[in-house]
Amino acid sequence: MGLCFSSLFSSPSNPNSSSLKTPHFSATTTASTSSGVKSQFSEIGSGSIDGGGGSQNQDEDKIVERPNLKVFSFGELKSATKGFRSDTLLGEGGFGKVYKGWLDEKTLNPAKSGTGIVVAIKKLNQESTQGFQEWQSEVNFLGRLSHPNLVKLLGYCWDDDELLLVYEFLPKGSLENHLFRRNPNIEPLSWNARIKIATGAARGLAFLHSSEKQIIYRDFKASNILLDGNYNAKLSDFGLAKLGPSAGESHVTTRVMGTYGYAAPEYIATGHLYVKSDVYGFGVVLLEILTGMRALDTKRPTGQQNLVEWVKPNLYNKKKLKTIMDARIESQYSFKAALQAAQLTLKCLEHDPRNRPSMKEVVESLEGIEAIQDKSKESKNRKMRSAAIQHPQQHGRARQRVT
C-alpha cells in the first residue's frame, strides 16, 4: 500500500486558545462503564512523537499530511445536540459523554434534529486529567487516517475550556453493547456477524500496522469497535495510539496505559510496547467474541475474573472448547470453524510477542474461517437439494403437511 507519515503532531488549531488551561498529565484511573470495575488504567507518558517524512498516498486507504477537519465552535455543537440534551446521549467513556447530533450534509453547519446527517459528538469531561492529550492524539491520528475499518473523524472544537470531537455516527453502537449488554430488544450477534466484525477490526489494525511509520493502537477492546448498519467494524478512540519503533529500535517504551484484561503481558511488565502488543489485545477480543464473556468481570467467581487466565486451557481441547463457546450461537457454526478460531486466539495470546502472528496473517486466517462457514452452508444446501431430488414424495408430503 506504500503508506507513509508526514509532519505529524503539529497542534490542531485553536482560534481562542489563550484561556485554555494547561493540561494535567498526572496518573489517573477511570471507572469502567459496565461491570463496575476500575478497568482502565493510565499514566500519562511524557514522550513526544515525531513523524517521518515522505510522500502522500492517493488510495482509498490513506494517511494524509494535513487533517481535513472542520473546526467547530462550541455554540455550533451545542445547537447540533439540542444543548447536549440528555435524550441525545449515546454513551459515556473515560473521555466524557458522547451525544447524537445533526449537521447539514454539505456545510456541516448545525441542522434541526432529524434532518441532514447524524453525527456522534464526544465532549471532554472537564475533570478528565488525561483528556487534552488524548483529544490531541485523536485529532492527529484519526484526522489523518482514512480506511473503511476506522471511524471517520469529521472535525473538532477547541473553544476556551471546551474540547470536543465530531465523528460519523455508527448506528449499531459498540461491539461491547452487543456482546455483553443483555438487552431483550437486541438479538444476540450471530456467528457470521461475529466473524465479520472480527475480520473488519483485524483489517483496521492491519492497516495501522502496515503504514511506513507503524501505528500501535494500544487500546484494542470491544467498546472501541463500533458497528455500522451492516455490522462493518470500525475502530474508534485513538487517544492512546503511538507511532511504532524508529529505525534500529525494536519497541517503544512508554508508561503503561490501556485497559486491564486486554493489555499484553510484556507491556504491563516492562512498558515495552510492540506492534504485536495490539495482536494480544485482538486475541482477547476474539476470545470475548467466541465466549460472549467479558475480558475482566469482578462479578464472576474468584479464579474466573480474568477471562484469558480462566479459559485459555480450554482452547487447546476440542471437547472443552464446546463448553466455553457462547451458548447463544450454538448450532450456528461449523465446529471446524470454531476450532480454527480458537487456535487463532491462542496464537494471538502467545506470551512472547515474537510468536504472535502479524495482523495481516490474522486477517488471512479469519478470511479462511469465513470461507469454511460459507462452504458448510453450501454443502448443507447441496445435501438438502439432493435429498429433495432423491425423495421427492417425502418432500412433497412435508410441504403438504405444512400448507
C-beta of 166: minimal distance to Mg ion in Å?
Answer: 15
* Residue 237 interacts with Mg ion (CB under 5 A): yes or no: yes
* Residue 28 interacts with ligand ADP (CB under 6 A): yes or no: no
Q: How far does CA 244 lie from the centroid of its chain?
A: 19
Q: Which is nearer to Mg ion, 94 or 353 (CB)?
A: 94
C-beta of 389: minimal distance to ligand ADP in Å?
Answer: 48
Residue 95 contacts which entry, ligand ADP, Mg ion, none (Cβ below 5-8 A, type-dependent): ligand ADP
- Reply yes or no on whether 219 is catalytic: yes
* Residue 130 interacts with ligand ADP (CB under 6 A): yes or no: no
**Distances in whole angstroms, Cα of residue 13 to Cα of each of 53, 104, 369:** 21, 23, 45
d(CA 137, CA 130): 11
C-beta of 250: minimal distance to Mg ion in Å?
Answer: 29
Candidate residues 88, 136, 214, 236; the one interacting with ligand ADP per rule CB under 6 A: 236
Residue 213 contacts which entry, ligand ADP, Mg ion, none (Cβ below 5-8 A, type-dependent): none
Selected range binding ligand ADP among 41-49, 80-88, 90-98, 349-357, rule: CB under 6 A: 90-98
d(CA 54, CA 111): 39
* Residue 136 interacts with ligand ADP (CB under 6 A): yes or no: no
Q: Where are the beta strands (DSSP E) in 196-306?
A: 215-216, 225-227, 233-235, 242-243, 252-253, 258-259, 272-273
Query: End-to-end CA distance of the chain, in Å?
Result: 56
Longest dimension (CA), the chain: 83
* Residue 279 interacts with ligand ADP (CB under 6 A): yes or no: no
CB-based contact 308:284 (threshold 8 Å): yes
- What is the Cβ-side half-sphere exposure of residue 72, based on CA atoms within 13 angstroms? 28
C-beta of 239: minimal distance to Mg ion in Å?
Answer: 8
Q: Which is nearer to Mg ion, 30 or 199 (CB)?
A: 30
Amino acid at 346: L
CB-based contact 129:28 (threshold 8 Å): yes
Entry field: residues in the chain: 403
Task: Locate all alpha helices (DSSP H) within 105-226, ordered by sequence.
Answer: 131-142, 175-180, 191-210
* Residue 94 interacts with ligand ADP (CB under 6 A): yes or no: yes
Q: Which of 159, 219, 237, 278 is catalytic?
A: 219
C-beta of 240: minimal distance to ligand ADP in Å?
Answer: 11
* Residue 33 interacts with ligand ADP (CB under 6 A): yes or no: yes
Which residues lie near ligand ADP (CB under 6 A)? 33, 90-95, 98, 120, 122, 151, 167, 169-170, 173-174, 177, 223-224, 226, 236-237
Which residues carry out catalysis? 219
